[in-house]
Amino acid sequence: MKKTIVASILGVVASVVPVGSSYGQGYVFFNNYDATTHAAVTWANTGVPAGKAGLAVGNLWKADLLYQFGGGALTPAGVVATFFGATDGDLATGAGYFQGPIATIPNYSGGAITFVVRAFLGTDFATALYSGQQTFTIAGGIPNGTPAPPAGSFGAAFLPFTVTAVPEPSALALIGLGTGALLFLRRRK
């Protein structure tokens, strides 16, 4: 009798768990270009290499996506996209635009969700020489519980943004040491 009850409970749990995990997620197309919205990422107007100011970024650039919902921490969505344009500013080949894979947001059941889109020059954001980002919130949330991604584009949801020089880690370390020294001296007095 006890074995039958335990087997029944395990059977119910096993049938409910896949349903919960398959529908507790949302989908977005990681894309900043569609038929109506053209949100090109460009170099900033100052602090960039000569001749780059204001130009759309080319295919040496990458973009990634982070998300946050329910007051939690920013979490990488695990998607990386490469920009279309062969060279910076070459609008004929789609410079400034990217179209990445479909991003799945796990454990998402609805409501507002905040996204951070980062563009960077280099192999990853942490070691980038130049980067930029755009943050925005979708108040109504994103479609969830669907067997396939919704029609439409992620691109319509965010504005164009510019990229600038990123401080070198050594410069950040010096700033941190200087701040620490000032706090230490202030405490001694």
pLDDT tens digits for 117-132? 999 998 899 999 999 9
Give residue 53's pLDDT. Answer: 93
Give residue 87's pLDDT. Answer: 93
Percentage above 70 pLDDT, the chain: 66
| Domain residue limits, the chain | 25-188
Higher-scoring residue by pLDDT: 179, 58: 58
Cβ neighbourhood burial of 41 (10 Å; 0-12, 13-18, 19+)? buried
Q: Say yes or no to pLDDT of 135 above 80.
A: yes
The alpha carbon of 180 is separated from its chain's Cα centroid by a whole number of angstroms, namely 32
Tokens of 14: 């096993």
Selection from 115, 100, 91 nearest residue 40 by Cα: 91
Unique residue bearing structure tokens 């329910």 = 70
